[in-house]
């Protein structure tokens, strides 16, 4: 018996000339200047050169007949680079989006479909901003993305950062949370924010680290007065967050404590939020 005889549904797979696939202007949320994204494309090029494109691109066709990619921008980018280098790639595997998909569905697909390199906080912020522009409420975005409303608000705030400050995040010099907190601390004064961040980056480099931490500003909880109060509040907030995360995991039976080792499974969104809280 063939798979098609027992399949519940059908998803057509096509082979398409990659030169016919377009990227919609302003659509891809990936930061082109992010070294991690450049490295990711380079790794994809090496893989595709050896074994070709194995994971299909997801595309849709507009009313004028043009084909656009909604999932697989990095794979398409890698393919086009290889073609420019002289490698012959006549076709790539393509799956067609659900015919009932709308613009919001396509925007969300950048998060939902993404099984390759995960979007950074800044890249997610751009995706959520497009949804807000389409009229989506933050609570609906949170429900669809499987994260808290507070996390959505925090990510959307990243869009208010000037481009020059976003570079610290893109280049991996400081976390999104640290840059945003420092910017707020200086009440939107860009020069003062840059001065403090540059100082923290220097301290990190002298310590052999590529990424600055809040403690590198000299106000990470080692000082007196307000710094200690801030550190204590941050610690209590993290403790409360972890407690809620564990309680939820137990309720949803995502904790395995039957062996000598306890294992807790958490979503990628919860993991990303936790990493932001500890400025990792």
Judge: domain 10-117, CATH 3.40.50.2000. no
Per 3-state DSSP, what percentage of the chain is helix, strand, and coil (rounded to 5)? 55, 10, 35
Asked whether 276 and 176 are in contact (CB, 8 A), the reply is yes
Q: Which of 76, 68, 79 shows the shortest CA–CA distance to 107?
A: 68
Alpha carbon distance 17, 251 (integer Å): 48
Mean pLDDT of 6-33: 74
The secondary structure of residue 56, as a DSSP letter, is P
Tokens at 51, concatenated: 């074994």
**11: which residues sit within 8 A by CB, 6+ positions away?**
95
**pLDDT digit string, tens, across residues 177-209:** 889 889 999 999 999 999 999 999 999 999 898
**121: which residues sit within 8 A by CB, 6+ positions away?**
155, 158, 169, 175, 176, 272, 276
Q: Which of 124, 244, 121 shows the shortest CA–CA distance to 177?
A: 121
**Residue 144, CA distances (Å) to 109, 111, 168 in order:** 11, 10, 29
**Residue 7, CA distances (Å) to 4, 98, 114, 195 in order:** 5, 18, 24, 60
In the prediction, which pLDDT does 222 show?
Answer: 42
**pLDDT digit string, tens, across residues 221-268:** 444 444 555 555 666 778 888 888 887 877 777 777 655 567 788 876
Cα 108 → chain centroid: 12
**pLDDT digit string, tens, across residues 113-137:** 544 566 778 888 888 988 888 888 8
In the prediction, which pLDDT does 228 show?
Answer: 54
CATH 3.90.1530.10 in the chain, residue ranges: 10-117
Asked whether 152 and 272 are in contact (CB, 8 A), the reply is no
Which is higher by pLDDT, 211 or 33?
Answer: 211
This prediction's pTM: 0.52
Label residue 172 left, alpha or beta by phi (over 0 means left) and psi (-120 to 50 means alpha): left
């Amino acid at each position: 018996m063939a798979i098609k005889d027992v399949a519940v549904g059908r998803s057509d797979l096509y082979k398409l000339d990659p030169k016919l696939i377009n990227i919609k202007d302003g659509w891809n949320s990936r930061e082109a200047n992010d070294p991690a994204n450049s490295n990711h494309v380079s790794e994809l090029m090496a893989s595709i050169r050896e074994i070709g494109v194995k994971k299909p691109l997801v595309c849709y066709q507009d009313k004028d007949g043009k084909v656009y990619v909604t999932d697989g921008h990095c794979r398409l980018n890698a393919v086009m680079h290889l073609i420019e280098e002289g490698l012959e790639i006549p076709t790539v595997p393509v799956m067609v989006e659900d015919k009932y998909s709308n613009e919001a569905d396509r925007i969300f697909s950048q998060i939902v479909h993404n099984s390759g390199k995960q979007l950074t906080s800044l890249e997610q912020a751009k995706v959520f901003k497009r949804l807000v522009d389409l009229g989506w409420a933050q609570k609906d975005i949170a429900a669809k993305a499987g994260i808290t409303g507070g996390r959505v608000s925090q990510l959307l705030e990243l869009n208010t950062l000037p481009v020059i400050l976003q570079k610290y995040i893109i280049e991996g010099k400081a976390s999104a949370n640290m840059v945003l907190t420092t910017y707020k601390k200086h009440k939107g004064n860009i020069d003062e924010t840059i001065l403090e961040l540059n100082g923290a980056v220097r301290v990190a480099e002298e310590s052999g680290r590529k990424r600055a931490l809040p403690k590198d500003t000299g106000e990470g909880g080692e000082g007196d007065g307000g710094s200690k109060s801030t550190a204590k509040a941050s610690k209590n907030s993290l403790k409360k967050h972890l407690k809620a995360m564990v309680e939820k995991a137990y309720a949803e039976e995502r904790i395995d404590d039957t062996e000598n080792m306890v294992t807790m499974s958490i979503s990628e969104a919860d993991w990303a939020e936790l990493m932001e809280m500890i400025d990792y």
